[in-house]
Structure 1
């Protein structure tokens, strides 16, 4: 028996393919199912079952399309009223797939109907548990995604679910969560790449704290989550459309300028320093990296036409795949020429890139404003005195609060501030992007 991990680092999630004797079961697949199909072919296994731990809030599932493509049984927790045929399972049900046996355990908390799947081998020995958004590595799934009116009830349920997992499963049981590798579905940052029930007894707050302390601490620590989450549950409940990973149609410089002038979303995927050195006015800089899809999805006007600018077709294809995972499908064009050839008659815009040492010197020599686009909790833990804190996801609705003149923009690493710089760049404001780690600001004594 073999458990293969399919990592989706851009969303901080994992899917799993469990194989034995030519048979395979897939758990919580992402929308781009070609990765799953390729892995199954490479392992020489036939997928007979596709299982969901819950209706996902942070990505569009590939489970429905995968099950239809390979003729597998599609398994979804009972209680979720979905718009397609599936096998609804509840606590105690068993999914038998060749030598594999997965027992359903109702583990509410992340959602009301959330389940975990306990994996038994042919001899009946417990080998692992697939915990979705319940027990994560050193933490648990967040409990506020279904609305504030459910948060306290679900947080108590989450505590009891994790306690049940620990009480009923052997210490050696491998814990395989879907979330917790950077996903905002995690209540707090997870720890480690692998874990067992025994490990969780030592460091999971639901197992080291009493119930009320756990509930109070989890709720108090919940931070903002991406706005696109509001659409994921709806799509996954109705049934997602098949994925389209084809390249968007190319657009020329004239059409690009028309789209920018019309206020459409035109996103530049290039490196943030390349964008700062020269870009088309009115475009938005979202460097294609592990954080790309989270922050673009957070700020994106849902359903709006979207045009991509990239270094090459490979970059466009990668971005399309990332966006498809969260249901951003209205890609209406792309351009990959040298940026100077896309300007038409207009000059490129640019702004300075600096580090925290440059900011320290500038603060001593002249008047400027500092814009900190980290989350409010990060800001509360320490910040540059006098800095204005507007979290990145609030920038578009709080543009009027940002001063004109010279504005230095920073975050914790330079990624979020690079997006913010592209959003606030305009003629009456001199933007400086601080592309540096915040620990450097601390070393320089800039933080209070």
Structure 2
């Protein structure tokens, strides 16, 4: 019996998963993220030398850490064929094998999500006919499969057909017993309807994954009909993951309130306040964008340009390193400073303070009945189809700054979402755009429904 180590790492918010497999003093890392210390420390603790770094494809939604991990460990980077990717030590073909310790990995060409897609089947070296695990990248997920829209509307059917063949000809033949290890979990933007379960197998997916019950024509038709959001930062991820990326940047510098005030005057910047919406509503630095701490995993990719410096105001000291790490994962390296002592230190020195309104759903109901308050729902389009507040204008948060309401700057405007987090981001965007009478709806549509107020299903214009 061969001893094997297996570790799964998850990047919160992104729902991106990477893996370390070790055996006989050697290890492989699959789809490493940028914070490479996780893999280096895990391998060191188990006396493993990282031999190979494998990529299932050029990821679109986060920065790969392959080149940084290679620089620290000397491991070889192996990936599929993609002439746009300028780094790597080996281009693997279908059927190529890699051995480490007492284990063997076989490369399987699985295009569809991307043209360079690879999956990897793991075997014990002495049993090359029984796959232990299948690392499926963005080809097959728990309960779903990868999106196929990256090459444009005109190629969706072609890509869907490739994905169908990859699943049915390469992954399913590995057998029911193979543990499925995809590159993403529930909540990822790289697939729709991914199930929220940490473990699955090929056999379970055959029985429970609706996409595996379709014949080819139905699969292609349904997959090509999917509509996905495409955050602007995806293009930047393509660039990062084509050229290789440097190590993650050093942490931001501590700034006293006067130092931060001076920095904010010098150049264009982003000031992100990571406190919860109620704290932000009570008082914040003028010009702040209220993205709660965990929201910095993906949302900045819709709202921020990468070439401007970023400064942080946090509610907890530990949030500084966490938020900086989240931002680095999606390519924001210019997190240059944070406010020492948080907002309390700023206000205690009598520095300028701004506010946005916070309103309960009961108060909103009254205001809508007796005065002309506008209502904006900033959730995603698929959320609107489950019901919106009557009369709400639908303006997706990711494009709100370029799709501002056509209203007087002093008009009362309430912003709602699911529970109030994204609503506060939207309210801060409107405030920074010059609207002076802005409210965030606390509890959002969740609270609205809990109070028994009506919702309507908007007409689907598609």
Q: What range describes the TM-score normalised by the shorter chain of this pair?
A: over 0.9
Offset at residue 262 of structure 1 (A): 4.9
**Residues 421 and 431 in structure 1, CA contact (< 8 A), matched pair in contact too:** yes
Query: Could you tell me how far 1:302 is from its partner in structure 2?
Result: 2.6
Question: 1:143-182 residue pairs with structure 2 within 5 A?
Answer: 143-182=148-187
- Aligned partners of 1:95, 1:346: CA distance in 2, in Å? 60
Matched, 1:118 2:144: no
Cα deviation digits, residues 347-376 of structure 1 (max 9, x gap):
422233234343334333433111100122
Q: In structure 1, what is the equivalent of residue 315 of structure 2?
A: 311
Change over 3 Å in CA distance of 1:260–1:319 after alignment to 2 = farther
Contact 1:277 1:350 survives alignment (8 Å): yes
**What corresponds to 1:431 in structure 2?**
438
1:253 and 1:138, CA in 2 relative to 1: closer, same or farther beyond 3 A? same
2:31–2:64: 8 Å Cα contact kept in structure 1? yes
Q: Is the 1:188–1:221 contact (alpha carbons within 8 Å) kept by the matching residues of 2?
A: no
Q: C-alpha distance in 1, partners of 2:313/2:265?
A: 12
1:277 to 2:293 alignment: no
What is the rounded CA distance, in whole Å, between the counterparts of 1:114 and 1:85 in structure 2? Answer: 15
Does 2:9 match 1:6? yes
Structure 1 pair 261/354, CA: closer, same or farther in 2 (3 Å)?
Answer: farther
CA distance in 1, matches of 2:84, 2:355: 51
- Structure 1 unmatched ranges of 5 or more: none
Aligned match of 2:329: 325
**221-230 or 343-352, which deviates more:** 343-352
- Structure 1 residues 256, 312: closer, same or farther in 2, change over 3 A? farther
Higher mean displacement: 68-77 or 396-405: 396-405
- Shift of the 442–314 alpha-carbon distance from structure 1 to 2, 3 Å rule, reads closer
* 8 Å contact kept, 2:251–2:335: no
Distance 1:357 1:212, change over 3 A: farther
Structure 1 window deviating more from structure 2 (375-384 vs 422-431): it is 422-431
Going from structure 1 to structure 2, the CA distance change for 1:356 and 1:221 (only over 3 Å counts) comes to farther
Q: Which runs of 5+ in 2 are unaligned?
A: 457-462
**What residue in structure 1 maps to residue 102 of structure 2?**
99
User: Given the alignment, which residue of 213, 222, 245 partners 1:217?
Assistant: 222
With structure 2 as the length reference, what TM-score do the two structures score?
0.91
- 5 Å-filtered alignment, 1:32-431, equals 32-124=35-127, 125-248=130-253, 250=255, 252-253=257-258, 255-256=260-261, 259=264, 262-289=267-294, 291-342=295-346, 347-401=352-406, 404=409, 405-425=411-431, 428-431=435-438
Provide the rounded CA distance (Å) in 1 between the counterparts of 2:117 and 2:77: 16
User: What is the Cα deviation at residue 260 of structure 1?
Assistant: 5.7
Using the alignment, how far apart are the partners of 1:137 and 1:437 within structure 2?
30
Q: Indicate the larger mover: 142-151 or 154-163.
A: 142-151
State the Cα distance separating 1:243 from its structure 2 match.
1.6
Deviations 1:289-328 (A, max 9, x none): 1x32200122112322212222354221111111111111
Deviation at residue 110 of structure 1 after TM alignment: 1.1
In 1, the alpha carbon distance for the partners of 2:243 and 2:413 equals 45
- RMSD across aligned positions (CA): 2.2
- C-alpha displacement of 1:220: 2.6
User: How many Å apart are 1:194 and its aligned residue?
Assistant: 1.1
* SS of match in other structure, 2:412: strand
How many angstroms apart in 1 are the aligned matches of 2:156 and 2:14? 23
Deviations 1:396-428 (A, max 9, x none): 101243564222211112221111111112665
The offset of 1:84, in angstroms, is 2.5
1:320-346 Cα offsets, whole Å, 9 max, x none, are: 111111111122322122424435665
* SS of residue paired to 1:401: coil
| 1-structure distance, mates of 2:76, 2:269 | 42
Contact 2:79 2:88 in 1 (8 A): no
**238-247 or 422-431: which moved more?**
422-431
In the TM superposition, residue 232 of structure 1 has moved relative to its aligned partner by: 0.6
**Is contact 2:306–2:334 with CA below 8 Å preserved after alignment?**
no
Q: Deviations over 1:54-87 (max 9, x none)?
A: 0111111111211221111111112344222411
Query: How far apart are the structure 1 equivalents of 2:329 and 2:363?
Result: 39
Q: Distance in 2 between matches of 1:248 and 1:149?
A: 47
CA distance in 2, matches of 1:185, 1:403: 38
Moved more, 166-175 or 279-288: 166-175
- Structure 1 residues 13 and 363 mapped into 2: Cα distance closer, same or farther (>3 Å)? same
Q: Distance in 2 between matches of 1:196 and 1:7?
A: 18
2:459 match: none
Query: How far does residue 248 in structure 1 lie from its aligned partner after superposition?
Result: 3.1
The corresponding residue for 2:448 is 441
Retained in 1: the 8 A contact 2:143–2:205?
yes
